[in-house]
Amino acid sequence: MAKSYKRLPQIPPEMQERYRVMVEVLSGAVTVKEGARRLGLSRNQFQSLLHRGLEGLVNGITSHPGGRPPVPDKERRLQEERADLQRENDRLRRQVETTDRLLGIASGLLRGRTEPRTAKTKSEDE
């Protein structure tokens, strides 16, 4: 069974200042404008990064239903169609094999190589 516990991520040294400023802005200790100034970014760039981080946080803490995700309708229909086509292909292959055998027997009969088989009656078996 897979463990669900996640360890604290290791923050690369080059990202530690950015991480610390983002956390300070999220906690309300620093304004967005001040955070952007400290990192040398425009307020718009900083806020976009902040929103991207928040989006990741929301996705990470959102509970998801257990089990496998459902197969999309289009893919499910394609899988069903594929299975139907495989069954039809198998049926046609058997039909071709039967036809080939019958043609082989008929060809042999026409050339006189094979004696026609007849169904035995009870009187012939005795």
Average pLDDT score over residue span 5-28:
92
Average pLDDT in the chain? 88
What percent of the chain lies above the pLDDT cut of 90?
A: 64
The pLDDT, as a whole number, for residue 51 is 96
Average pLDDT score over residue span 1-11:
80
* Burial category of 37 from C-beta neighbours within 10 Å (exposed 0-12, middle 13-18, buried 19 and up): middle
Q: Report residue 81 as tokens.
A: 């169609």
What is d(CA 116, CA 102) in angstroms, rounded to the nearest whole number?
12
Helices assigned H by DSSP within the chain: 16-27, 32-39, 43-61, 73-111, 122-125
Residue 66 has pLDDT above 90, yes or no: no
Q: For residue 69, what pLDDT band results from cuts at 50, 70 and 90?
A: confident
What is d(CA 34, CA 63) in angstroms, rounded to the nearest whole number?
34
Q: For residue 37, what pLDDT band results from cuts at 50, 70 and 90?
A: very high
Is 49 in contact with 41 (CB distance < 8 Å)?
Answer: yes
Q: Where are the domains of the chain?
A: 14-61, 74-115
Q: Against a cut of 0.85, is the pTM above it?
A: no
Average pLDDT score over residue span 3-27:
91
The pLDDT, as a whole number, for residue 65 is 79
Residue 98 has pLDDT above 90, yes or no: yes
What is d(CA 9, CA 110) in angstroms, rounded to the nearest whole number?
82
Average pLDDT score over residue span 45-66:
91
